């Protein structure tokens, strides 16, 4: 099965995509993670992407589609794309790339969460700088403030989870990514899910629509 997960930043799509990928034995492909790794390793892709990511802007479509083309050469059988496509041009580009190799998307899962909730979730989001475990001061707080429950490492915030960058990411989402919903709706592939339900309910709702 091949799925794409859509939704605003902070809608929980990353966490849900990871869980669903494990349950359904699919590869979880987060373009944000691929890009962050590229930046960390100082690769050519990372150098092209860094300035856009730091500002909360989208990395240009041609850079992203080049990266996806490479990914599809290795992982074409079963995957969840998380954070991609982010523009109508990316959705169309993905359609073309997949058509070329004779495959297609089965469903586009759209996690709906309002702006107020998104802001609360994102400003509360922290991660362990040593082992990468996620925490949220509102929903999943660490036992000791600023310290990872698992390994004792220090907790930090993603640079693009700072309030001023979040507002820009939400604007970018509304302007550029909303049309992706229309693209998949017009192809009868869009499945709307209420992302404000409990964590477990969201997982169950997604499983229900894809099985």
Of the candidate spans 37-45, 54-62, 147-155, 191-199, the one that interacts with ligand AMP by CB under 6 A turns out to be: 54-62
- Which residues contact residue 89 at a Cβ distance below 8 angstroms, ignoring those fewer than 6 apart? 61
Site for ligand AMP in 80-109 (CB under 6 A): 83-84, 86, 90
Q: Which two tokens stand for residue 199?
A: 């964590």
Q: Which is nearer to ligand AMP, 54 or 100 (CB)?
A: 54
Is there binding between residue 160 and ligand AMP (CB under 6 A)? Answer: yes
Q: Which is nearer to ligand AMP, 61 or 147 (CB)?
A: 61
Is there binding between residue 9 and ligand AMP (CB under 6 A)? Answer: yes
CB 24 within 8 A of CB 1: yes
Say how far apart CA 176 and CA 67 lie, in whole Å.
Answer: 19
Say how far apart CA 161 and CA 66 lie, in whole Å.
Answer: 26
Of the candidate spans 16-24, 58-66, 96-104, 120-128, the one that interacts with ligand AMP by CB under 6 A turns out to be: 58-66
Q: Which is nearer to ligand AMP, 84 or 126 (CB)?
A: 84
What SS3 class is residue 129?
A: coil
Q: Which two tokens stand for residue 190?
A: 């869009």
The residue behind tokens 């989208």 is 58
Nearest-approach distance from CB 61 to ligand AMP, in angstroms: 7
Q: Which is nearer to ligand AMP, 90 or 205 (CB)?
A: 90
Is there binding between residue 19 and ligand AMP (CB under 6 A)? Answer: no
The residue behind tokens 């960058």 is 165
Is there binding between residue 7 and ligand AMP (CB under 6 A)? Answer: no
**CA-to-CA separations, 191 to 8, 91, 109, 184, in angstroms, rounded:** 15, 16, 5, 9
* Nearest residue to the partner ligand AMP, using Cβ: 32
Contact letters (x/-) for ligand AMP, 129-148, by CB under 6 A?
A: --------------------
Alpha helices in 31-111 (DSSP H): 31-40, 44-55, 61-74, 88-100
* Total residues in contact with ligand AMP, by rule CB under 6 A: 17
Q: Which is nearer to ligand AMP, 52 or 199 (CB)?
A: 52
Cis peptide before 86 (omega within 30 of 0): no
Residues found near ligand AMP in the complex (CB under 6 A): 9, 31-32, 35, 52-53, 56-59, 64, 83-84, 86, 90, 160, 169
């Amino acid at each position: 099965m091949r799925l794409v997960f859509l939704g605003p930043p902070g809608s929980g799509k990353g966490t849900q995509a990871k869980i669903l990928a494990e349950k359904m034995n699919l590869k979880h492909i987060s373009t944000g993670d691929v890009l962050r790794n590229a930046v960390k390793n100082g690769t050519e892709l990372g150098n092209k992407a860094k300035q856009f990511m730091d500002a909360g802007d989208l990395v240009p479509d041609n850079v992203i589609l080049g990266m996806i083309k490479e990914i599809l050469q290795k992982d074409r059988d079963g995957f969840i794309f998380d954070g991609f496509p982010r523009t109508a041009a990316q959705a169309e580009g993905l359609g073309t790339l997949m058509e070329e190799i004779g495959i297609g998307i089965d469903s586009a899962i759209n996690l709906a969460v309002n702006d107020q909730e998104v802001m609360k979730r994102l400003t509360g989001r922290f991660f362990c700088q040593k082992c990468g475990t996620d925490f949220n001061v509102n929903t999943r707080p660490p036992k000791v403030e600023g310290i990872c429950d698992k390994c004792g490492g220090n907790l930090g915030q993603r640079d693009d989870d700072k309030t001023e960058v979040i507002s820009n990411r939400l604007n970018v989402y509304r302007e550029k990514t909303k049309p992706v919903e229309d693209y998949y709706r017009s192809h009868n592939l869009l499945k709307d899910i209420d992302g404000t339900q409990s964590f477990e309910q969201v997982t169950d709702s997604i499983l229900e629509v894809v099985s």
